[in-house]
Structure 1
Amino acid sequence: MKTLSQRLDEYLVLRRAMGFDLSFDERVLRKFTTYGDENGFDQISTSLFLDWKANYGSADNNTWARRLGMVRRFAFWLAEHDDRTEIPSNQLVMGRYRRRVPYIYAPSQIADIVAEAGRLPSPYGLRAALWQTLFGLIAVTGMRVNEALSLNQHDVDLERAVLTLRNTKNGRDRQLPIKGDTVHRLARYAELRDRLVAHRSSMFFIKEDGEPAGDCGARYNFAQVGRNIGLRSPQAFNRHGRGPRIHDLRHSFAVHTILDWFREGRDIEAEMYKLSTYLGHSEPKHTFWYIEAVPELMQLAAARAERQVLEGAS
């Protein structure tokens, strides 16, 4: 039976092969596994984490929440090799900030969202065209909601098939190439918009009153579409309710892109840096987070890294 420290050695080798910098994580996890080995624990469990927390110095909840996240990632990997592993709940320590686990839409769900948005009622049909086009654009480009809503008409170059995103979350402009079908759908929306609204804002996405479409409207209409197709429960008084979000379209784009790379046998680490730039992430670690957040990606990454380690040893 391998010790927790020996399992940690294997885990660190595999994750470093995926391109992660684990210098800080290793220091924390080494103390965790050493404590477990020295106190008779040969598997990860809630009791081990709580026992370690009670005996390992003093720190605030934010620090312990980060440590819990490191232990949980290690436990998710170890559970693939030792079915006795118990993954400690992320509710054991409540830090100030906890990144929300993304909801990954299946391609069929994305198709349903876009189709249902096209059925939203309005006097002249611009509401349906607006939100159908916006939701579809986010799904196929991975743009942030406000990046799409901030597009000016001159930022949408349909002849060159390029979108220019300005003043983005990280303060940098960037350009996104778009494919032929996306160009066609944007052109259709623009033609309907220009025909129906004479006096209008210079923004690309506008409402029937000529004013720019806004973030609140996007979230409200997305929630309504979600309820119509069963992704959210019915709500009284026009409340949004809880369920998959419009921002999860961005997450789904990233995850499906990475899954395709695994299937095609690409160099994942090299492609991830490209994706980080494309998505406008301030640091590559925000893109690598998808591998940790989505179990299927974590399993694929671990399997590939394990093969690379075995091939290197042979």
Structure 2
Amino acid sequence: MTTLHSLLADAMEQFLAHHRALGKRFDTEAATLQLLDRYLLEQQVASLEAITPALLEAFLGSRPRASARSYNHLLNVLQRFFHWLERQALLCPSPLRTRPRHATSQLLPFLFEPAQVEQLMRLAADLPDARRTHRRGAAYRISFALMYSLGLRVGEVARLCRQDIDRERHCLIIRQTKFAKTRMVPVGPHLEAQLLQYLDADDGIGSASPTDPVISVSRDHRRPLSSHSISRAFQRVLPQLELTLPPGVAAPRLHCLRHSFAVGTLLRWYRSGVDPNVRLSGLSTFLGHVDPTSTAVYLTITDALLAEANTRFERFAAPALREVYRP
């Protein structure tokens, strides 16, 4: 983290240390506080009394925000920090008076069908090598496959190392991810075969180290592929899919592969007779969330899910309805 220098620097460091001691990464919050720290320095704020509601309002207005959601996220970080200052009796009362912006209804995420993902991976596999890349198409194809089949975040895919593949237990070890958690993700035989085939194709380059990245386009397979590169490749092949966006649905982005995994899992549970309420905590752990509330954000209600839920309710309610309408 960049060193902080404003008169709130020590308080910011303590605030971040407090939350990180609870197992939180708090990287986004740290970046936001760096912005505030820099702004206080630019405005030559030398006393706590100078941190006024007008000053904080000006700071929020100085940060360009494309959406109400982005603005409210910035405001929320400040609210938590100044509320913490109040509890520590460091700045009472809080000078932050700004209210959140009204957020208009958000578009639903695009959910990929299996056939669309198959086409996406075919297009990715056909991406040609550039002058400094090796097996570029194969790298992007397996990246998309891991995100869609296991619900991994793009950063988790990019950070995978060879030592994270447990061949004996047929799983991946996802280390120190978004919520500072490490988890094990089971891998099915079909996907595992694809992953090992991808790695084995590069074994002739030289001796592989356990810390070498899984996903790489460098010729020695030692330099990891970045999250941004995977996202750019997705956006490059996306137009070739010629997708039709339903009303109220946002344009597809890479994270939609993870959304599609979560919703697809829920749909399979319904169709196989599994009670989703019993399994939801397991899905939350699988996705690397701290609780099922975070997972619920991914569970977009689709027509297929509604149909399955209605069918299940009709089976459940049928005996009672027969009793009510018995002649």
Length-normalised TM-score, structure 1: 0.60
Aligned partner of residue 127 in structure 2, secondary structure: coil
On the 8 A contact 1:231/1:243 being kept in 2, the answer is: no
**What per-residue deviation string (whole Å, max 9, x for no partner) do you get for residues 51-101 of structure 1?**
xxxxxxxxxx99xx9xxxxxxxxxxxxxxxxxxxxxxxxxxx963597652
Q: Equivalent residue for 1:118?
A: 125
- Identify if the C-alpha distance between structure 1 residues 268 and 148 changes in structure 2 by more than 3 Å, giving closer, same or farther: same
Q: Distance in 1 between matches of 2:201 and 2:212?
A: 15
On the 8 A contact 1:158/1:187 being kept in 2, the answer is: no
Q: How does 1:187-202 map onto structure 2 within 5 Å? A: 187-196=196-205, 202=212
Instruction: Note the C-alpha offset of 1:289.
Output: 4.0
Q: Distance in 2 between matches of 1:161 and 1:114?
A: 23
Q: Equivalent residue for 1:105?
A: 112
Q: Equivalent residue for 2:230?
A: 218
One-letter amino acid of the counterpart of residue 284, structure 2: S
- Identify if the C-alpha distance between structure 1 residues 296 and 253 changes in structure 2 by more than 3 Å, giving closer, same or farther: same
On the 8 A contact 2:281/2:291 being kept in 1, the answer is: no
Instruction: Note the C-alpha offset of 1:225.
Output: 1.5
One-letter amino acid of the counterpart of residue 236, structure 2: Q
On the 8 A contact 1:102/1:248 being kept in 2, the answer is: yes
Q: How does 1:141-290 map onto structure 2 within 5 Å? A: 141-196=150-205, 202-208=212-218, 210-231=222-243, 243-290=251-298
**What per-residue deviation string (whole Å, max 9, x for no partner) do you get for residues 242-265 of structure 1?**
831111111111111111111111
Instruction: Note the C-alpha offset of 1:158.
Output: 2.7
Q: Distance in 1 between matches of 2:288 and 2:218?
A: 31
Q: Equivalent residue for 2:93?
A: none
On the 8 A contact 1:232/1:243 being kept in 2, the answer is: no
Report the identity percentage. Answer: 29
Work out whether 1:308 is the aligned partner of 2:316.
yes
Q: Which moved more, 1:197-206 or 1:164-173?
A: 197-206
Q: Distance in 1 between matches of 2:166 and 2:108?
A: 34
Q: Distance in 1 between matches of 2:307 and 2:244?
A: 29
- Identify if the C-alpha distance between structure 1 residues 198 and 208 changes in structure 2 by more than 3 Å, giving closer, same or farther: farther
Where structure 1 has 5 or more consecutive residues not aligned to the other structure, the ranges are 1-60, 66-92, 234-241
With CA pairs under 8 Å and 6+ residues apart, which has the higher RCO, 1 or 2?
1
**What per-residue deviation string (whole Å, max 9, x for no partner) do you get for residues 247-295 of structure 1?**
1111111111111111111112112221111111222123334445434
Q: Distance in 2 between matches of 1:147 and 1:182?
A: 16
On the 8 A contact 2:158/2:227 being kept in 1, the answer is: yes
On the 8 A contact 1:102/1:293 being kept in 2, the answer is: no
On the 8 A contact 2:217/2:223 being kept in 1, the answer is: yes
- Identify if the C-alpha distance between structure 1 residues 187 and 247 changes in structure 2 by more than 3 Å, giving closer, same or farther: same
Q: Distance in 2 between matches of 1:109 and 1:259?
A: 17
- RMSD over aligned CA atoms reads 3.2
Q: Distance in 1 between matches of 2:112 and 2:195?
A: 22
On the 8 A contact 1:121/1:128 being kept in 2, the answer is: yes
Q: Distance in 2 between matches of 1:196 and 1:228?
A: 33
- Identify if the C-alpha distance between structure 1 residues 312 and 152 changes in structure 2 by more than 3 Å, giving closer, same or farther: farther
Where structure 2 has 5 or more consecutive residues not aligned to the other structure, the ranges are 1-67, 73-99
Instruction: Note the C-alpha offset of 1:155.
Output: 0.6
Q: How does 1:65-76 map onto structure 2 within 5 Å? A: none
1:296 counterpart (294, 304, 308) = 304
On the 8 A contact 1:226/1:232 being kept in 2, the answer is: no
